[in-house]
Amino acid sequence: MKKNFIFSKSVMAVSMLLVASMSLAQTSNSTYFLEGFNQRYQLNPAFAPERRVFVAIPGISNINIDAQSSVGLGNFLFQSASNPEMLTTFMSSDVDSKAFLDNLPDAASFNVGVNMDILSLGVGSKRGFTMFNVKLRNNEQVNIPKNLFAFMKAGLSPGSYLIEDMNVRSVSYIEWTLAHSHKITENLTVGMGLKFIQGLAYADVVFESIEADLSDDIWKVRTDGTLMASIPGTALKYNSEDKTIEGLEDFSFKMPHSYGFAVDLGAEYDMKDIVEGLELSASVTDLGLIGWKNLSKYSTVRNAAVDFDGFNGIDVTGDNNDVFDGVTDQFKEMIKLDETSSSASEQVMLDATFRIGAEYTTPFAKWLSFCELLTIKTGLWPYTESRTSICMKPCSWFDVVGNYAASTYGSSMGLVANLHPSGLNFFIAVDRLTAELNPQYIPINDFGLNFSVGLNLAFGEKRNK
pLDDT digits (tens, 9 = 90+) for 271-326: 999 999 999 999 999 999 999 998 889 998 766 788 887 776 665 555 445 555 66
3-class secondary-structure state, position 173: strand
- Give the residue-averaged pLDDT of 144-165: 86
Check pLDDT > 80 for residue 230.
yes
Q: Alpha-carbon torsion 316, 239, 168, 174, what sign? A: positive
pLDDT at 83: 73
Check pLDDT > 60 for residue 32.
yes
pLDDT at 64: 94
The residue type at 177:
T
Q: pLDDT-based confidence at 13, cuts 50/70/90?
A: very low
Burial class of residue 142, CB neighbours in 10 A (0-12, 13-18, 19+): buried
Per-residue HEC secondary structure of the chain comes to CCHHHHHHHHHHHHHCCCCCCCCCCCCCHHHCCCCCCHHHHHCCCCCCCCEEEEEECCCCCCEEEEEEECCCHHHCEEECCCCCCCEEECCCCCCCHHHHHHCCCCEEEEEEEEEEEEEEEEEECCCEEEEEEEEEEEEEEEEEEHHHHHHHHHCCCCCEEEEEEEEEEEEEEEEEEEEEEEECCCCEEEEEEEEEEEEEEEEEEEEEEEEEEEECCEEEEEEEEEEEEECCCCCEEEECCCCEEEEECCCCCCCCCEEEEEEEEEEEEECCCCCCCEEEEEEEEEEEEEEEEEEEEEEECCCCCEEECCCCCCCCCCCCCHHHHHHHHHHHHHCCEEEEEEEEEEEEECCCEEEEEEEEECCCCCCEEEEEEEEEECCCCCEEEEEEEEEEEEECCEEEEEEEEEECCEEEEEEEEEECCCEEEEEEEEEEEECCECCCCCECCCEEEEEEEEEEEEEEEECCC
Q: Report the percent of the chain where pLDDT is more than 70.
A: 87
pTM of the model: 0.86
Domain at 3-462: CATH code: 2.40.160
CB neighbourhood size of 437 (10 A): 13
User: Buried b / exposed e across 190-224, counting CB within 10 Å, b at 16+?
Assistant: bbebebebbbbbbbbbbbeebbbebeeeebebbbb
Question: Can you tell me the distance from the alpha carbon of 437 to that of 94, in angstroms, rounded to the nearest whole number?
Answer: 25
Q: What share of the chain is helix, strand, coil (3-state, %, to 5)?
A: 10, 55, 30
CB-CB contact of 34 with 418 (8 Å): yes
pLDDT at 4: 38
Question: Can you tell me the distance from the alpha carbon of 190 to that of 424, in angstroms, rounded to the nearest whole number?
Answer: 26
Q: Report the percent of the chain where pLDDT is more than 90.
A: 44
Question: Can you tell me the distance from the alpha carbon of 252 to that of 237, in angstroms, rounded to the nearest whole number?
Answer: 15
CB-CB contact of 67 with 113 (8 Å): yes
Q: pLDDT-based confidence at 45, cuts 50/70/90?
A: very high
Check pLDDT > 80 for residue 444.
no
pLDDT digits (tens, 9 = 90+) for 255-281: 778 999 999 999 999 999 999 999 999
- Of the listed ranges 96-110, 221-235, 327-341, 409-423, the one predicted with least confidence: 327-341
- Give the residue-averaged pLDDT of 400-414: 89
Q: pLDDT-based confidence at 98, cuts 50/70/90?
A: confident
pLDDT at 435: 67
CB-CB contact of 324 with 12 (8 Å): yes
Question: What DSSP state is assigned to residue 16?
Answer: T
pLDDT at 402: 96
Question: What residues does each domain of the chain span?
Answer: 3-462
Question: Can you tell me the distance from the alpha carbon of 86 to that of 92, in angstroms, rounded to the nearest whole number?
Answer: 12
pLDDT at 86: 75
pLDDT at 71: 85
pLDDT at 314: 62
The closest of 197, 192, 108 to 150, measured between CA atoms, is 108
